[in-house]
Amino acid sequence: MTKKNLHVSLDPEIYETLHETANMNSTSMNAIVKESIISYLHQTRSKQLLNRSNFTFIDLFAGIGGMRLGFESAGGKCVFSSEWDKYSQETYLANFGERPAGDITQIDEREIPDHDVLVAGFPCQPFSLAGVSKKNSLGRAHGFKDKTQGTLFFDIARILDAKRPKVFLLENVKNLRSHDKGKTYKVIIDTLKELNYHVFDEVIDGSGYVPQHRERIFIVGFDANIYKTAPNFHFPESNVKYRVRDILESTVDDKFTLSDKLWLYLQAHAAKHKKLGNGFGFGIADLNGATRTLSARYHKDGSEILIPQEKKNPRRLTPRECARLQGYPENYKIVVSNTQAYKQFGNSVVVPLISAISREMIKAMAVDERKVENVV
């Protein structure tokens, strides 16, 4: 095929950004431009397909709506949300115009609207298997209700059982697999399969979507009553490199700079643990790379992610920078105190990663339900 030439004039700023990105990825500017165009066309085509799907979803353990943003970007409509924390409810209300229902354990699953997709970033809890072997010996059925009763995963299971969404996405910390010597994860996967879902799972690092190392486990399921064979679903992959410096605010109040007392304490604390061989300490961010994982404890001292400053002590990220580090849009409203904002973003998800997973889920749904003939 004969190649076609296209001449484009670029602003100096865009040209320099392309040049810098090419150097950072050890490739040519032409390759970067080509990849960007292909990616844009792919996403545009995907959005057209996804918007036509007009799927509905529910947002459980919703936090401040990071999962919701991801699925809305894929053309979904949220028909129900649940979050018990009052401060997170305030942030959710400010950004989505609705206050989530409260404690999911007190909500009757029959009152939840029908939906295509269930989304939940649920807390990790151990399961008690006491009594199961006894019930087996007596020939009595126990099933997921007995195995998971008393945990928050039980509430997901009972909703899946009652409402039968076509697909679900669950998100949790990477260590869920090893939690309680693997017993917790085994109960979860066995329960989802017992509920007759095809299950896919993978640990993904958010650094392919934002400048932050954030490994989380994602579990996707497709209703086997609808999809007789396991769908052709694949988790997304991204090798794009992002830089911390690109999410930093140009002007930052001095209140975010560590005091001499705190800075001296963190250095002494790190030196002490290094001497003991523990390797624990603060983290000065590489501005041309990715940060450590942002946690809910960031409000305490900001030690895991500190931003270097010339002739000054390092500083912690601002709440807006934390929002950017998680991939939230610039128009996302922060309506709570800095302390609560740090907790909320530290507990949240990488929004662009959720968007990428949701697109793959909906494309798999569309193909297997013969909604489209070809998916780009």
Active site positions, annotated:
124
Q: Which of 185, 163, 191 is closest to 173 using CA atoms? A: 185
Region class of 176: left (phi > 0), else alpha (psi between -120 and 50), else beta:
alpha
3-state secondary structure of 140: coil
C-beta of residue 354 within 8 angstroms of C-beta of residue 66? yes
What are the phi and psi torsion angles at 359 (to 5°)? -65, -40
Q: Which of 296, 294, 326 is closest to 306 using CA atoms? A: 294
Task: Kindly report the three-state secondary structure assignment for every residue of 41-65.
Answer: HHHHHHHHHHHHHCCEEEEECCCCC
What value, to the nearest 5°, has the Cα angle with vertex 87 and ends 83 and 91?
80
